[in-house]
Structure 1
Amino acid sequence: MSGLELLTMRFLLASLGCLAAGLSVWAISALLRRCLPALAMQRSLWLLGQLTVLAIFVLMLLPHSQRVRLIPPLEGATRTVTQFLPAAAATALPAPRAAQADATPALSPRTLLLRGAQAWLAIYLLGLAWSIARLWRAHRLLDSLAKGGAPAKAQDGATMLEVDAPISPMLLGLFKPRLLLPRHLRDFDPLQRQMIVEHELTHLRRHDLQWMSAGVLLQTLLWFNPFMRMLRNSLTWAQELGCDRDVLRGRPAAQRKAYASALVAQLKLQHLAPQGALAFGSIDPNTLTERVALIRSPASTRRAMWARAATVAALAAIAGGNFALQPALAWSVSPSAQSVAALNCTTLVDAASGKALLREGDCGARITPVSTFNIAVSLMGYDSGFLRDEHAPLLPYRAAYNAWNPDWKRDMAPRDWIRYSAVWYAQQVTRQLGRERFERYVQGFGYGNRDTGGDAGKDNGLAWSWIGSSLQISADEQTDFLRKLVRHELPVSPRAVEQTATLLRLDDLPNGWRVYGKTGTGAPVGADGKDDFSRSHGWFVGWASNGKRTIVFARLAQDEKKEEGAAGPRTKEAFLRQLPAQLAKL
């Protein structure tokens, strides 16, 4: 799976997690609004709620740690070790059917999921463009309305404009605030008109335009999440209540009653404001009821301070709960933690024609090549002249290599390296090549995703990119690479191919076919950050030739439970046990 495909799948996962987070945030926030009205009247509750949902989305969108690493146990790469897998447990190769070679493979669940994720990404981008266009139209409408207004006296740094339109008084403009006042306000009582203007100017002093803009931006980014709209509407509601409270603080009951009457009168006269406008009175009757109730019984400052403290605690609990849930959700759904079925493939390809002779399973799934990449490293080493033959150079083992496999703690020649899959030997070859030449070889080979960057921020691609890191390859790409190798189409010398084949040579099959191959063993990283050996996967790739015909192959198998021994040799044993009969039918 390419990096773009993984990002697309993570985007789908993040969108689902965002919806779940929105539901939990809204449920708790709505409960607080019902049980603790003073808390709900704090605008910080609703904006922080939106930020919490966005944080969950971003966290799930970021790359996770479910990458594949090299398994520490022994891996005898080119020797037949029958004790690793009983004959009865061997994974049999399905017999080919006559029409199978030319038939289009059925879409796997993983492929369907990927296509669904791609479709969702396209829908999201279209929806985002539509949401941005909608906001832009609203901005243009308000701007044209403001341009037609008659200037009035400026207050608190805001330009006041009187417009002949049945709108709500509204404040707009982040950098150049303008207060639009409908002409019908002239018919209001002077005290009512003065309190209405004061309400809008209070929005300006409280920086409500900035708060509102942040809420609209978050809602636009996550336009598909209905809870973001609900949280943003509640933010606007809390801002209105806050301004009402500040305007009415210390005023007598008669003025409070006049202000409530002005609210009702304005609601009858106004038309709906454009989406995103911060407008006095642009509320529904239920919200108006709550505002009038607040006018009659204002909350105390002491209670409001307590509510602010409770807001922080409540949102911290919401965020903590969602972050605690996220790893489990990511592990169960994340496409990078591929299912057992998705990591099983058998493919045989005619080297001359490129025709698929057998293709079972999901052969397009990319994972780490682990020790199968030693085929490529061998070609590089012989082509560059660092490797001379199967016995030279003999490199000394050093304690600094920190080999976790006891069989690696010895001086080694190329044949020993391939036999035991010693990581440190391959690393000495790539270090001798240097980064620039190493990357040039990988690009020239067209190997997998060609990503030699290594782990993010660690600058270790030269030594580790093929071991559970950035470099990934599918079974289909393994056979493509091997076809180029046996057809001498790689940018290396014929001697490099010949010497590599010598290292990979296995025992001949009973029917006379010569077999060359290399294993690889890996395991996904679990949610706890440790290798999950219960789901180890094994590679076995190579080619078989009878002098007239060459067949390249790749076998990838993943364990359903923890098995004894390394997965690579077990995969090889199962494959070789069935290969003679399989070749006889081709």
Structure 2
Amino acid sequence: MAISTSFTGIDLLAFQFLLASLGCVAAGLGVWAVTALGRHWLPGIAAQRTVWLLAQCTIAAAFLLVLMPQSERLHLLPPIDIESFSAEPAGTAGAAGHATTDGGRPASAPDQDLTPRNYLAWAAQTWLLVYAAGLGLALRQLLHSRRALQALANAGDRTATRPVDTIEIDAPIAPMLFGLLRPRLLLPRHLHGFADDQRELIVEHELTHWRRRDLHWAGAGIVLQTLFWFNPFMRLLRRQLSWAQELGCDRDVLHGRPAAQRKAYATALIAQLKLQQASMPTALAFGNVTPDSMADRIALIRAPSRRNRWTGIATAAGLAAVLGASLALQPSLASQASMQLSCTALMDAASGQRLRYEGQCEEQVTPASTFNIVVALMGYDSGVLINEHTPLLPYKPSYASWNKEWQTDTDPSSWIVNSTVWYAQQVTARLGQQRFQRYIDSFNYGNRDVSGDAGKHNGLTQSWIGSSLQISPAGQLDFLRKIVTRQLPVSDQAYEMTSRILHPQTLANGWTIYGKTGTASPVQANGRDDESRQYGWYVGWATKGTRTIVFTRMTLDQRQQTYAGPRARQSFLRDVASQLDTL
């Protein structure tokens, strides 16, 4: 069965998670490149555990930053519009303006359930399942390792309790320290065959791990590798962290010791390698070395590299650059910010039956430019408006004109297309406050409050623009049904002309859409607009044959490059209008 043609919350989460996963793998490549250059130019990096854990944290940060709210503001690449993955042509997308229609041009929408965007949604959701399965397997492996270590400890004999519990076991393992909360040192009995000074150095190596709190560092690395099990660079970096811990202990144990003890230490390391089996990933083992890396470790034992504080500083700067680049060059999802408020509602105009009613449809918000439908009805009924092109009102610089399209002479047709605020204000001003209020009361529109901003007495020209007048999506639905069934106290001319200037468009499935968008910013407690968010409206009705369906789509989400109203229109035409025949 096909997934819903509407993107759900799990779809958006899956897309974000997929994008973050890909981003952290790309960041891992950059981190590995930086550390590889560092090892070449600054060999001392190999023994600095801080560098390798910081490298893992950089990859994790790259993943988390993608998921952070409003992180898209820091991205340089254009957003990926996940809602554009459909079979429809761009004709239904709408222009990126405050509110748009397509001027009567035909538009099409997909009738198929399976579209490229659905396959993409399936892929993203499948990745969530794959990630969860992989995480479960990784945790199972860790649990198996812990149980194996515990079984070895239980099978041995405790020989000392200070500074840590020391347990001697009869098994071909490397000496190893394990247990984050309760450290224990496992020593194989075959160490009795080593020289006394070798045995002393081996035990000192493991106790140095304990003093340096290497178990905590290793634990952090293991947690990160487990959480990001899919990222191969996490595994490589965690191995480098283990390598750095061993080199660090070698350096600390051998510091100030004569060459003879260094030679004995190296000889013990080679002997241990021949006797041991594979080491446990959750333990710190003296023999944590392979035949391939043996030569490098022996060389460092003989001639240890010197500490250089600039090594860490240079590497940290490189990692910071990788993190910044991964964030800036990471494409965001055009709809990655979850809807903070949304409603999609449809009703059969004849029967009043709700066909779809999803989301917070009772929440009252500003009607924004959808109120132009109301203004058109009032204007044509009162005679202020005559027809599609009369009156043609001249533009004045004193008028509201924050959109370029408004800075021109305007008639009723272009007013609706461009949502020209000053034209609607001229219509309501000619009506006057009393007649304006009577119309709103007779329409029973929203909360019927046209008083405007408190203390400013601007209700006649501002009440519907983020001000006192509010309406819910359910209220819009009831109002639109009254238009279609002609239950409002206005003339037939008002109904006909209002429908005409809405510029109906016919979809490929035969439905004709009469709709109006609206965009507005929420108003904060201090009276200023919230520039980070936008309401988006698309309301109207659809007709086919003898049937009419009224609809409303409302969202509140993060401000993006395109206005929220056209985005609401685009998603409705793609996801809902294509299914009208099934309602």
1:112 aligns with 2:119: yes
Residues 540 and 395 (structure 1), Cα distance of their counterparts in 2 relative to 1, 3 Å cut: closer
Given candidates 93, 99, 103, the residue that maps to 2:106 is 93
Three-state SS of the structure 2 residue aligned to 1:63 is coil
Would you say the 8 A contact 1:150–1:161 is kept in 2?
A: yes
Q: Mapping of 1:385-404 within 5 angstroms?
A: 388-390=441-443, 395-398=450-453
Shift of 1:545: 7.0
CA deviation string 1:354-374 (max 9, x = no partner) = 99xxxxxxxx9xxxx984796
How far off is 1:550 after superposition? 2.1
Query: Out of 125, 130, 133, which is 2:137 matched to?
Result: 130
Deviations 1:492-515 (Å, cap 9, x if unpaired)? xx99x969999x9562668xx999
Indicate the residue corresponding to 1:507 in structure 2. 497
- Partner letter of residue 214 of structure 2? D
Tell me the distance in 2 between the aligned counterparts of 1:243 and 1:286. Answer: 20
Structure 1 position 178, deviation (Å): 0.8
Query: Alignment partner for residue 14 of structure 1, among 15, 20, 23?
Result: 20
Compared CA separation, residues 499 and 123, structure 1 to 2 (3 A)? farther
What is the Cα deviation at residue 391 of structure 1?
Answer: 9.5
- Whether the aligned pair in 1 keeps the contact of 2:27 and 2:322 (CA below 8 Å) is no
Aligned to 2:466: 423
Compared CA separation, residues 537 and 186, structure 1 to 2 (3 A): same
Q: Given that residues 267 and 281 in structure 1 are in contact (C-alpha distance below 8 angstroms), is that contact kept between their aligned partners in structure 2?
A: yes
Query: Aligned to 1:262, which of 258, 265, 268?
Result: 268
**Residues 1:112 and 1:370: Cα distance change in structure 2 (over 3 Å):** farther
Query: Distance between the aligned counterparts of 2:242 and 2:204, measured in 1?
Result: 17
Query: What per-residue deviation string (whole Å, max 9, x for no partner) do you get for residues 135-192 of structure 1?
Result: 000000000110111111334x211111111000000111221110011111111111
Partner of 1:451: none
Unaligned 5+ segments in structure 2 are 1-6, 74-78, 80-95, 339-344, 354-358, 360-364, 375-439, 505-511, 522-529, 555-560
1:44 aligns with: 50
* Residue aligning to 2:549: 551
CA distance in 2, matches of 1:221, 1:25: 18
Any idea what the Cα deviations from partners look like across 1:285-305, whole Å, max 9, x if unmatched?
A: 2322111001111223xxx1x
How many residue pairs get aligned? The number is: 437
**Counterpart contact for 2:368–2:466, Cα < 8 Å:** no
C-alpha separation in 1, matches of 2:135 and 2:276: 29
SS at match of 1:412: helix
Q: Which amino acid aligns with 1:280?
A: F
The structure-2 alpha-carbon separation of the partners of 1:205 and 1:394, relative to structure 1 and needing over 3 Å to count, comes to closer
Q: Residue 219 of structure 2 corresponds to which residue in structure 1?
A: 213
On the 8 A contact 1:17/1:57 being kept in 2, the answer is: yes
SS of 1:213's equivalent in the other structure is helix
Equivalent position of 2:539 in the other structure: 541
> Normalization by structure 1: what TM-score?
0.62
- The whole-number CA distance in structure 1 between the counterparts of 2:334 and 2:192 is 61
Amino acid at match of 2:37: L
Contact 1:13 1:334 in 2 (8 A): no
What are the Cα deviations for residues 120-145 of structure 1, in whole angstroms up to 9, with x where unaligned?
A: 01110111111011000000000011
8 Å contact kept, 1:66–1:337: no
Q: CA shift at 1:33, angstroms?
A: 1.5
3-state DSSP of counterpart to 1:273: coil
**Corresponding letter in the other structure for 1:336:** Q
Partners of 2:106 and 2:212 in 1: CA distance = 71
Q: Deviations for 1:465-495, whole angstroms, at most 9, x for unmatched residues? A: xxxxxxxxxxxxxxxx94997499xxxxx99
Between the aligned partners of 1:207 and 1:36, the Cα distance in structure 2 is 25
Map Cα deviations across residues 8-58 of structure 1 (whole Å, 9 max, x no partner). 211111101100111111111122112211122111000010011111111
Corresponding residue of 1:246:
252
8 Å CA contact 1:371–1:518 kept in 2: the answer is no
Normalization by structure 2: what TM-score? 0.63
Cα gap change, 1:91 to 1:327, in 2 (>3 Å): farther
Is structure 2 residue 487 aligned with structure 1 residue 410?
no
Question: Contact conserved, 1:151 with 1:159, CA < 8 A, in 2?
Answer: yes
- Kindly provide the amino acid, as one letter, of the partner of residue 213 in structure 2: H
Aligned-residue RMSD, C-alpha: 5.1
Question: For the Cα contact (< 8 Å) 2:157–2:167, is it kept in 1?
Answer: yes
Q: 2:388 aligns to what?
A: none
Give 1:197's aligned amino acid: V
Please name the residue that 1:322 is paired with: 323
1:283 alignment partner, SS class? coil
> 1:42–1:74: structure 2 CA closer, same or farther, 3 Å change rule?
closer
Aligned 8 A contact 2:17 2:128 in 1:
yes
Q: CA deviation at 1:219?
A: 0.5
SS of 1:239's partner is: helix
**How far apart are 1:284 and its partner, in Å?**
1.3
- C-alpha contact (below 8 Å) 2:44/2:311 kept by paired residues: no
Equivalent positions of 1:130-529 (< 5 A) are 130-155=137-162, 157-300=163-306, 304=307, 306=308, 308-331=309-332, 335-336=335-336, 371=367, 388-390=441-443, 395-398=450-453, 410-412=458-460, 421-426=464-469, 429=470, 445=474, 482=477, 486=481, 507=497, 517-521=515-519
Change (3 A) 1:93 1:349: farther
Provide the C-alpha distance between the structure 2 equivalents of 1:313 and 1:41, rounded to a whole number of angstroms: 15
Say if 1:354 and 1:161 are closer, same or farther in 2 by CA, change over 3 A.
Answer: farther
Change (3 A) 1:411 1:482: closer
SS in 1 for 2:159: strand
- CA spacing shift, 1:337–1:271, aligned 2, 3 Å: same
Aligned mates of 1:74, 1:56 — CA distance in 2: 33
Percent same amino acid at aligned positions? 43
Gaps of 5+ in 1: 78-83, 339-346, 356-363, 379-386, 402-408, 431-440, 448-480, 489-493, 524-529, 557-561
Amino acid at match of 1:129: G
How far has the Cα of 1:218 moved from its partner?
0.7
1:522 Cα deviation after fit: 7.3
